[in-house]
Structure formats: C-alpha cells, structure tokens
Amino acid sequence: MNTLDATSRPPRYFRSKRLKGGRPGYFFEPPTWARKQGCPVHAEALGQDFASAVERTESILLPAFDSWRSGGLTDMLPVLPVPGTFDWLVSVFRAHQRWRDIDHKTQRLYSQGLQLFANHELKDGSRVGSKQITDFTKAFVDAVYAKLLVVQYKDREGNAAKRERRRFANAAMTACRRAWFVGQRVQETMVPQVNPFSRMGLKSRAPGQPMRETPTASWDELAAFRKAAKRLGYHSIGTAALLSWEWLQREEHVFGAFEIAHYRPKERSNSVRIVHPKNNEEAWWPLFDDKGGPLFPELVAELDAIKGSVVSGLVFRRDHAHRKSSALIPWMTERKDLRYLRHVVKKIVIAAGLRHELSFTSFRHGGFTEGADSDLTDAELRAAGRHRSRQQLPTYAKRTRKQLIAAAKKRREERTRTALSSDSALASHDALVSGN
C-alpha cells in the first residue's frame, strides 16, 4: 500500500487523510483564497490509490488550476470535465501511462474515435460526453454506434444521401473500450466494472460486402517504380520501396523508425536492427550468409551510400532541400505525418505507368507474396515478418538467423527462376515468329 512518508514531497494542494478502518485516502484541495475568487477547479476525492491520485493531480488538476490562475497563459486544460462523465473518463485515459505507451499513429486514431463518440448529439440536445458513465448501458452504446455508422450528407445535386463509415466507427468503439478498461483500473469506485463497449460483435464490413484487399505489387512493378523514382530524383523512396519489399517493413516504420545507427553498427557490422515502434520490439537481420555471401546486394549497396552521407538520425530523408531548411529533412514530419510522402509515391506510380491503386504498402505485401511463392515454411515467414522482443532474442537469435538466411536465399532463387522462365518464354515466341 502506497502512503506518503516524511521524505516524499506531494504535489501542491494534495492531501492525505486517514479514513475509517485506518486506510489513507487522497484528496485535492485548492486553497481557500482560490475558492473565494471563483476557481472552477473544485476539491476532489482522489481515491485510495496513491500513484493514480498523484498522476491525476499532476496531469489534470494542477494544470487546470494553473491555467485559471494565469488567466489562460498556461492554457493546459481550460475546462475540467465533470467527474464521472464520459469526458472525464477520456481525460483519465489520456493522463495514464497506458496512453503514453501507445504509438503516435494509434494515439491520433484513438483521439479521433473518442471525440467522435463524445461529440455525438443526443435527442435532448446534449453530448454523449456530458453523460455520466454509470448511466451507460450496452443498449445505449449500441444505439450510438448505429448512429455513428452512417453519415448523412448531400450529393452534388443537393439530394440527401447516406454512406457508411464502418472502419471509423469500429475504431471509435475500440478506443472507448480501452478507455473504459484503463479508467476502471484507475478509478474502480467510479467506473463500473461491466464495460458496455466489450463484445459488441463489430463486423469489419457490411453483410454481403466483398473483402477489400490491399493491392499487391509484383517484382516487375517494384523495378518499374524504382526506375521512375530515380528518374524523378526521388532516390530515397526507391531505396525505401526495396527495403519494404525485402524486410517486410511497414511504411511508418521505414520512414519513422529506421535510423542510421541501426544499420551495420560497429558491434554488428554485418547486420541491421529492425525496430517495431508499436511495442518497442526489435530484430537483427543478417546481411550476409554464413559464407559471407550477400543476401541483399542491391539494397546493401544503396544503404551503404546513404550511410556515407548521413551522420545520424532517420535514414530516409527528402531528396530536395526544404524551403525552411538547407539540410535535407525526413519524409515523416514532426507530427508523424506521411501524407506528403504518399502524394509523391502516387506521383511516381503514375510516372511509371503502373496501376493507380498501388501504394507504398503494396510493396510490403508483394514481399510477403514472394515469400509464399518461394515455398517458405511457416517458421521462415514468421521469422521474416515478425519481431522478437529483447527478452526473447537470447532464446531465438540462432534459430531466427538461420531462418532469415534461408528465407532470403529462397526468395532470390524464386526471383531468378521467374526471370529465367519469362526470358525462355520470350525466346520461344521469337523463334516461332522467325520460323513463320
């Protein structure tokens, strides 16, 4: 049990009191002069969990108090949610360590989903976020979800129309479910144990709707894309596409997590460290087999050239100087945005004469497809597509290295067989034409 001791220094206006039974309870109590001046941050019982009480005081209550006292200059939380409301539950979630452990992209999706649900207007004109969570039922949540699932709008002719936003609505329910679970652990006396967002039976697509598959690129399409990228001066994107194909990396990982220090460091000069940002897992990929033969000759040559010119930081940077900086800046912005990159990728796809539906993700899917076509075993595919944590590396390092080498060799052999088969078919066609 956590209690304040003589050496600890509690936050401002944080009080500890003995409750019935001898257990300590924690309270936030603004000074009397502030209450007399109309401070909107009222005294609040913080429960009996010391860590949660301190976290709420420091993350929410004190910033709100300081914002009021400074006339909005600190501008942290100008309006404090009413305790027990859904808005309050969201604030508890966002102040918790679990929120900080979420990667930036998922945080953004969660924020959008929580806002979508909280800002939904009910029949009485109130927001869902203003309602007490103790009044939430499964039927209520299902009804709101049904409303969020369909968007009403006017088409170009001004006629009323509807469209479904199932993916966005499902993501909102996922965010709400997680917020409820976190809130229940932090404020178990205020958050009901039954989570109304659980087991909703969400469907990824409407009944009868075919499954939407991400377009998969072929090796020839990758080669055409890389050629067009170099012709247009986007060498970094061409190399990144090959990396995504070979190492099966997601777009946000390639441009937002792969750093110069990860590639052929002094202590492991024949390997590359692949980081998985979502859970901070990592995997070391061998660049050469046990006999010293290169596994990724084209990719290694291009990355070696980049390493020779970039001292530190992210590997992939824009190929042209930015108007605000003489130095080359990363493709991923400070806000973790890749929209400009996707615009350039689409520009390259069009210039290469490829299918317009192709995206950067298509090359990663193409790498997986090549692996399956190369008769890789399940273990080899898992070793190539998944990341081992630090705790697991000592156990799996030897086996994973062997599987990665075998997988890389099989894929290159399949690539060569496909090319030879195409050349043979073309030669037979030419001979037939000449004979006629």
Distances in Å between the Cα of 80 and the Cα atoms of 43, 58, 76, 90 are: 12, 14, 10, 12
pLDDT of residue 210: 60
pLDDT of residue 426: 60
d(Cα 395, Cα 399) in Å, to the nearest integer?
Answer: 8
CB-based contact 149:169 (threshold 8 Å): yes
Residue type, 134: T
pLDDT of residue 179: 95
For 37, the token pair is 């001046």
For 23, the token pair is 């257990």
CB-based contact 409:373 (threshold 8 Å): no
CB-based contact 39:30 (threshold 8 Å): yes
d(Cα 329, Cα 343) in Å, to the nearest integer?
Answer: 17
Phi (first) and psi of residue 160, to 5 degrees: -70, 135
pLDDT of residue 171: 92
d(Cα 372, Cα 378) in Å, to the nearest integer?
Answer: 9
Q: What is the pTM of this model?
A: 0.58
pLDDT of residue 346: 96
pLDDT of residue 403: 57
Strands 24-28 and 160-164: unpaired
Q: Consecutive sets of 10 residues in the chain, 436 residues long: mean pLDDT of each?
A: 49 87 87 88 86 81 82 57 90 91 84 92 87 93 93 80 87 94 92 93 71 80 96 95 90 90 92 75 84 91 92 89 76 85 95 94 86 65 50 35 68 76 63 56
Number of Cβ within 10 Å of residue 299's Cβ equals 18
CB-based contact 203:186 (threshold 8 Å): no
pLDDT of residue 399: 40
CA–chain centroid gap for 34, Å, is 42
pLDDT of residue 76: 44
Q: Apex CA 260: angle with CA 348 and CA 384, to 5°?
A: 70
SS3 letters across the chain: CCCCCCCCCCCCCEEEEECCCCCEEEEECCCHHHHHCCCCCCCEEEECCHHHHHHHHHHHHHHHHHHHHCCCCCCCCCCCCCCCEHHHHHHHHHHCHHHHCCCHHHHHHHHHHHHHHHCCECCCCCEHHHCEHHHCCHHHHHHHHHHHHEEEEECCCCCEEEEECHHHHHHHHHHHHHHHHHHHHHCCCCCCCCCCCCCCCCCCCCCCCCCCCCCCCCHHHHHHHHHHHHHCCCHHHHHHHHHHHHHCCCHHHHHHCCEHHHECCHHHCCEEEEEECCCCEEEEEECECCCCCECCHHHHHHHHHHHHHCCCCECCECCCCECCECCCCECCCCCCCCHHHHHHHHHHHHHCCCCCCCCCHHHHHHHHHHHHHCCCCHHHHHHHHCCCCCCCHHHHHHHHHHHHHHHHHHHHHHHHHHHHHHHHHHHHHHHHHHHC
For 396, the token pair is 């799996």
CA–chain centroid gap for 200, Å, is 23
Instruction: Name 44's bridge partners.
Output: 28
For 53, the token pair is 């009480």
Residue keyed to tokens 């890749």: 338
Phi (first) and psi of residue 137, to 5 degrees: -125, 165
